[in-house]
Structure 1
Amino acid sequence: MVGIIFLSLVFYSLIFTAETDTGYIDHSVSNSSSHASDEPNILDLLKDLDEAALMLKLIDQVGLRDTLSSKGPYTIFAPYDLAFELLPDSIYNELMNNQTNLKHTLMYHIVKGAFYLFPPPDGHGAYNDQLLPSLISGKYVRLNIYQVGFTRLTAGGGPVIDGGNASNGAVYIIQNVMYPVPPGNIADVLMHNKSFSVLGKLVQKAGLMDYFKGGPFTMFPPTNEAFNKLSPDILNKYTQNTTLLKQLIEYHVLDRTLYTAGSYSGEIVVTVQGCALNLTVWYDTLWLNGVNNSQVIYLNYQVDNGVMHVVDTVLIPPVIH
């Protein structure tokens, strides 16, 4: 399983303008491949898109050209070149120096079937939390639709730009690299990632592990270090009372998928526990319930049933104070 690298990523997904987004999205779907056969294929379209030059180069490098030259159909979500440059150096180097991991990641950006995500007459639309089957068996690309002063469509949390319809599918440019490929659902991460061993044990004690196999959810999971900042008395208060423990955990969870591209500074979101969280963007970092309270130290960690934003401080619900 790919371990989480705790880095404060640039909060770039919040600052793209409406002009680069998709506009209105009709809530219907099709995987029809009935577009004209005289259109260029996916690779031809990518070649004509200056923004995706690196993606095209990497497709050749890992041996996916024949796949994308075939009849298909396929839909590709191609990160634009700057998205690769914005990756932390450790992740960028891992991808570029490990051909197996790179191919695995690129395959996750390619979907089986032609999905025309724009409203008629250009396409058939998309719907929120739609899952598209990638070339990796059992792994899906999640689409979300957000209202942030305009309608924004995201794939794997990245805003989507139309790249054109191809003879063998469709091309979209996305403003992020979908990395890592989701390692499993939230319960899988809590059970197997050592960075969340404390939270995992508490979720198990509260009887919520099966709950987190459902979803979709957004979780703000505190790290082990975050729990270590709590006094023993406070931690014991929760561990000895299952009702309070359940409330504490649920205060870190939303019952929907909220990527950063779908949120904004000052937004108030209601948790599963019932109390609200306030989102604040401050100097390219995301804070919960005000600056200097709980900082998100890793954004948009994809899981099969939603997304996780890792925090450095345990959030205490107001009703538990």
Structure 2
Amino acid sequence: MMRLLVLFAFVGFASALTIPELATQLGATELVKLVTQAGLADTLSSKGPFTVFGPTNDAFAKLPKSVLDLLMKNKQLLIEVLKYHVVSGSVYSSQLTNELTAPSLAPLSATAFVNIRFNIYNGGKLITADGSPVVLANQNASNGVIHVVNRVMWPLPFLNVPGLITREQAQFSTLLTAVEKANLVATLSGGPFTVFAPTNAAFAKIPADVLNKLLANITALTDVLTYHVISGTFWSASLSDGETPKTVEGKTVKISINAGKVSVNNANVQEADISVTNGVIHVIDTVLLPPSFNINSL
């Protein structure tokens, strides 16, 4: 069990307030409004207990207007999104471990629920739920506990790394071809992994004849692909400027953060924090090449 640091409030006596009442007191009024609109207020005021990862008002304000409008119009989707922020039982930060997954109340099928992945970084200074940092933990209600998070979590259809790039072939068809040619589908179904995934446009920066040679050279292709993979789940909130994580290929990449924009070596992160069942994907605009790798000598 990890030690709680100053960020995380002392677990004391349960409040007399229910979860919706406590959320209101904590300032998460948008969450309470949506919970009421979804018809979940009575459930979250019942005996429970429940653990709620409650987004701040600012977290909801960060959502695109089109997404908010969709949630307003689609009650079933709103219910599923809100249920993805709830776990049965009272779960305190001291009970969380890195890479732990726990079922939310959001249904995945008739018999299963969508898991939330928890990660712990910097000796417990940062805890994330599905990549969303916990900014205030262990707030006791009469029927459970609230952990305040600064990003709305979204119950995407859960797929593993190969499943996601297969589904998104419009963006990743070249990457999928490369993974299949290198016989890495089974490997990338394990993990957990952090994958920096080059788009088709990223591969298109490589001259066609050179790319064809790379795809035909399984050893070189494997080196290049595994240079895009880090063991463990590293959401964008956990990345820091100048860090050099080791890749599965064996060499390191350099993370740079400037004015909120993240790059990996010479590649820019175009979309971060795509949740998959075995880690996270960050979309990049340039193919990464291991140091001393000469792509033109293939």
Superposition TM-score tier, normalisation by shorter sequence: 0.7 to 0.9
SS in 2 for 1:143: strand
**Which residue pairs with 1:157 in the alignment?**
131
Q: Do the aligned partners of 1:74 and 1:114 also contact (CA within 8 Å) in 2?
A: yes
**Which residue pairs with 2:141 in the alignment?**
166
Distance 1:310 1:266 in 2: 19
Q: Do the aligned partners of 1:23 and 1:151 also contact (CA within 8 Å) in 2?
A: no
| Residue of 302, 311, 321 corresponding to 2:275 | 302
1:170-195 Cα offsets, whole Å, 9 max, x none, are 10110111135353111210111122
Q: Do the aligned partners of 2:193 and 2:278 also contact (CA within 8 Å) in 1?
A: yes
Correspondence list, 1:218-237, <5 A: 218-237=194-213
| Residue of 125, 138, 147 corresponding to 2:113 | 138
1:95 aligns with 2:95: no
| Residue of 100, 109, 113 corresponding to 2:89 | 113
1:129 aligns with 2:115: no
In structure 2, the gaps of 5 or more residues are 107-111
Q: Do the aligned partners of 2:268 and 2:285 also contact (CA within 8 Å) in 1?
A: yes
**Which residue pairs with 2:287 in the alignment?**
314
RMSD across aligned positions (CA): 2.3
How many pairs align?
283
1:109-167 Cα offsets, whole Å, 9 max, x none, are 111221011xxxxxx4321111121012331111111118x721111112211261122
1:85 aligns with 2:61: yes
**Which residue pairs with 1:39 in the alignment?**
16
Identity of aligned residues (%): 39
SS in 2 for 1:177: coil
Distance 2:36 2:50 in 1: 17
1:66 aligns with 2:51: no
TM-score (norm: length of structure 1): 0.82
Highest RCO, 1 vs 2 (Cα 8 Å, sep ≥ 6): 1
Q: Do the aligned partners of 1:22 and 1:153 also contact (CA within 8 Å) in 2?
A: no
TM-score (norm: length of structure 2): 0.88
SS in 1 for 2:245: strand
| Residue of 279, 284, 293 corresponding to 2:255 | 279
Distance 1:234 1:178 in 2: 41
- Offset of residue 37 of structure 1: 7.0
Correspondence list, 1:263-274, <5 A: 263-274=239-250
Q: Do the aligned partners of 1:105 and 1:181 also contact (CA within 8 Å) in 2?
A: no
| Residue of 136, 153, 173 corresponding to 1:178 | 153
In structure 1, the gaps of 5 or more residues are 1-17, 25-34, 118-123
Distance 1:135 1:214 in 2: 25
Q: Do the aligned partners of 2:193 and 2:279 also contact (CA within 8 Å) in 1?
A: yes
Correspondence list, 1:236-275, <5 A: 236-275=212-251
Distance 2:161 2:9 in 1: 31
Change (3 A) 1:253 1:92: farther
Distance 1:295 1:214 in 2: 26
| Counterpart AA for 1:203 | V
- Offset of residue 93 of structure 1: 3.6
1:198-222 Cα offsets, whole Å, 9 max, x none, are 2112111111112222111101111
| Counterpart AA for 1:132 | A
Distance 1:233 1:92 in 2: 46
Change (3 A) 1:157 1:22: farther
Change (3 A) 1:182 1:266: farther
1:198 aligns with 2:184: no
Change (3 A) 1:113 1:182: farther
Q: Do the aligned partners of 1:250 and 1:271 also contact (CA within 8 Å) in 2?
A: yes
- Offset of residue 284 of structure 1: 1.7
